[in-house]
Chain A
Amino acid sequence: MIAPDWFREDRLPHIYCTGCGNGTVINCTLGAVEEMGWKREETVFVSGIGCSSRAPGYILTDSLHTTHGRALAFATGVKMARPDLNVVVFTGDGDLAAIGGNHFIHACRRNVDMTVVCMNNHIYGMTGGQGSPTTPPGAISTTTPYGASEPAFDLAELAVAAGANYVARWTSYHVKELTKAVAAGMQTPGLAFIEVRTQCPTNYGRHNKLRRVSDMIEHLRSHAMLVEKRDRLVQEGKPVPDDIFTVGELVRRNRPAMGVKS
């Protein structure tokens, strides 16, 4: 249960659609913040543009709702100028991986000490469901009416390759694991990236034979494979289904980091 004093109650009702996964991700993140014992006046939430990026507007701390794709660059300025502040970024797949792709890899490379939570719903939700860089091949969206023809980005693997000190992936089904992962990311000096595969029933599920919220969550659950299990299958020479994605902790390491509180 999240302490109600972390929410801007005067902002309610929120803009999220019925069945949206973003509220779950916000709850898990604030659960992690509570576990960390952070104080409101020492914590800043930063975001870009999109459904995910409306989250800081509902949280009662200093919050910076910026321009599309640029959240990590703004957050870098905040954290480098005031390393004593805790900085958490909410972003989405379009915000982070399309328009903000360059800032994403450079923030990971710099390993700026902040926590980045990406609500990956495989779609541009705010604008009505257009294909994004994480739309799975074959999926229907308003701009991929014959099925997405481009390969999708694996955001977590991208963060690992670019140098983030902590990388994990979970889904909106895995609330306990997700909360623990966000907290572990917050404890790790350097950039922590947590990708959350989440449901957008309004603009994704509806077009992809996942009309009910429960269908979407079941789809996420049944296609998520623990990274350890995937590795075991590979080791044993057994086939790995090609429609799964890995979940779990992908990396936790100690590369030099920037903006760490001294």
Chain B
Amino acid sequence: MSRVEFMQGNTACAEGALTAGCRFFGGYPITPSTEIAETMARKLPKAGGVFISMEDELASIAAVIGAAWTGARAMTATSGPGFSLMMENIGYAAMTETPCVIVNIQRGGPSTGQPTRAAQGDMLQCRFGSHGDYSTIAITPNSVQEMFDLTAKAFDLADRFRVPTFLMADEIVGHMRERVTIPDAVEVTRPGPLAEGSLPFEAGDDGIPGFAPFGSGRSVHVTGLTHDERGYPDTTDPEAHDRLVRRLVAKVESARREIADYEVVNPDAETVFVTYGPPSRTVQQVMRDRRDDSIGHLRLRVVWPFPEFALQEFGNAQVFLMPELNMGQMVREVQRHVDQPVVSIPKIGGELQTPAELVQVLEAHR
């Protein structure tokens, strides 16, 4: 069974989390993400979960990681300034392989910037924001329905790969209202259990160790220090560090095809838009208006790990056009995988590119 509602994106995000079994939310109010916390505050206690308003975003992500180690599906939601504050503990979650979901309803930055305006300015921060080498997963919804669906999916990816997973939404999808279909239940993949006789950070071929949550009698030591397969600190052996950090990166990067989620429209096109999040809605409008098979569209629902193979689906592409709500953060990532020119169509200030603006660039590159 399912129900159909007219709902705000942030509410749909909270509903997606609840349906996916999220039972812990630690957060701090920040525009334009706050409705997620408000919805969780209202609904989590009734679902037998815990909502806690922490003293800041450093504490929010810390509490989420602590809860995740008890085996609970745990989440926080924030925006730019709070996201910046979370960076150290996001690295801790990556290092300790803690499954958790971090929602970023992006707003204009840097600094306090534009609290009520949309942006996609944190796309590199979510990939590289904490110190050291690591990989994470970042998902980019473009509709209220996807705020529900992809939030639920984020929990599965976090559990499957034991990695902090980001829902990189923005003020537009967070605050717009659309029709959304809410299922009563979604399929859930939990982390693989820690096998008898296996060490807590000993991984198989997929690079992902089994998970033994606190209270399961395995006496797991969790540390942000470089550690061996037992979880014990080993901070000076170059090989121990190399082995651990390469595995943390490889377990995500080597699964790029499994994690990838994208839409291809007109694969034979010569002029190809590459988008993620709300600019895809403008591209869809342009394509509805023009009905021209020479215009293609690659829309990414997963941006990190970056699915470079998706670009190869456009065998006739002469040029890639990239409208983003930033000054071209993902352009270089796309450019390094293709020989064709990649044209940035940046827009900052809080408004989406108009169809006319995209058409102008389109005509200039044909």
Name A residues whose Cβ lies closer than 8 Å to a Cβ of B.
Answer: 8, 10-11, 40-42, 44, 46, 56-57, 60-67, 69-70, 73-82, 84-85, 102-103, 106
How far, in whole Å, are A70 and B87 apart by their CA atoms in the complex? 13
Chain A neighbourhood of B354, CB < 8 A:
none
**Please, which residues of chain B bring their CB within 8 A of the CB of A85?**
70, 214-215
B24 engages A57 (CB within 8 Å): no
Does B216 lie within 8 Å of A66, measured CB to CB? no
Q: Which residues of A contact B56 (CB under 8 A)?
A: 102
Task: Give every chain B residue within 8 A of A11 (Cβ-Cβ).
Answer: 232
Task: Out of A60, A65, A66, name the residue touching B219 (CB < 8 Å).
Answer: A60
Q: How many residues of B contact A (CB 8 A)?
A: 40
Contact partner, B24, options A44, A46, A56, A81, Cβ 8 Å: A81
Chain A residues positioned under 8 Å from B293 (CB to CB): none
In the complex where A8-B221, A60-B219, A64-B69 touch, is A80 in contact with B214 (Cβ < 8 A)? no
Residues of B within 8 A of A (CB): 23-24, 26, 50, 52, 54-56, 58-60, 62-70, 72, 74, 88-89, 92, 214-225, 230, 232-233
Cα A10 to Cα B222 with chains together (Å):
16
Cα A65 to Cα B95 in complex, Å, equals: 12
Residues of B within 8 A of A80 (CB): 24, 50, 52, 63, 67
CA of A83 to CA of B218 in the docked complex: distance in angstroms? 19
Q: How far is the CB of B47 from chain A (nearest CB, A)?
A: 13
A102 contacts which chain B residues (CB < 8 A)?
55-56, 59
State which of B26, B62, B214, B223 has its C-beta within 8 Å of the C-beta of A82: B214
Assess the B221–A73 pair: CB atoms within 8 A: no
Task: Write out the residue numbers on chain A whose beta carbons fall within 8 Å of the beta carbon of B55.
Answer: 73, 102-103, 106
| Contact flag A40-B70 (CB < 8 Å), given A65-B224, A85-B214 | no
16 contacts between A and B (CB under 8 A): A44-B215, A57-B221, A57-B232, A63-B221, A65-B221, A66-B92, A73-B55, A74-B66, A77-B68, A77-B70, A78-B214, A80-B50, A82-B70, A82-B72, A102-B55, A103-B62
Contact of A81 among B50, B58, B223, B224 (CB under 8 A): B50
**Are A78 and B218 in contact, CB atoms less than 8 angstroms apart?**
no
Enumerate chain B residues within 8 angstroms of A65, measured Cβ to Cβ.
Answer: 221-225, 233
Given A61-B219, A82-B215, CB of A74 within 8 Å of CB of B65: yes
Closest 8 CB pairs of A and B: A77-B66, A77-B63, A73-B62, A73-B59, A81-B67, A65-B223, A77-B67, A74-B66
Question: Given contacts A62-B214, A77-B63, is CB(A57)–CB(B50) below 8 Å?
Answer: no
In the complex, what residues of A have CB within 8 A of residue B224's CB? 65-67
Once A77-B62, A80-B24 are accepted as A-B contacts, the answer to whether A41 and B221 lie under 8 Å apart by CB is no
Nearest to A60 among chain B residues (CB) is B219
Interface of A is mostly: helix
A77 to B218, CA, bound (A): 20
Beyond A73-B54, A73-B66, whether A81 also contacts B72 by CB under 8 A is yes
Known: A81-B72, A82-B215. A56 touches B62 (CB 8 A): no
Chain B residues with Cβ below 8 Å from A63 are 219-222
Q: Which of A46, A69, A106 contacts B66 (CB 8 A)?
A: A46
Decide if B219 touches A81 in the complex (CB within 8 Å).
Answer: no
B222 near A41: Cβ-Cβ < 8 Å: no
* B91 CB to nearest A CB, Å: 9
- Report Cα–Cα, A84/B71, bound state, in Å: 13
Bound together, the chains give a CA A63 to CA B227 distance in angstroms of: 14
Contacts of A73 in B (CB 8 A): 54-55, 58-60, 62-63, 66
- Interchain CA distance A40-B220 in the complex, whole Å: 11
Query: Nearest Cβ distance between residue B87 and chain A, in whole angstroms?
Result: 11
A8 to B: closest C-beta gap in Å: 7
Closest Cβ–Cβ distance, residue B194 to chain A (whole Å): 12
Residue numbers in A under 8 Å from B230 (CB-CB): 10
Known: A41-B217, A62-B219. A70 touches B62 (CB 8 A): yes
Q: Which of B58, B74, B88, B225 interacts with A77 by CB under 8 Å?
A: B74
B225 touches A74 (CB 8 A): no
**Residues on the B chain within 8 Å of A106, using CB:** 54-55, 59
Bound-state Cα–Cα, A10 to B233, Å = 12
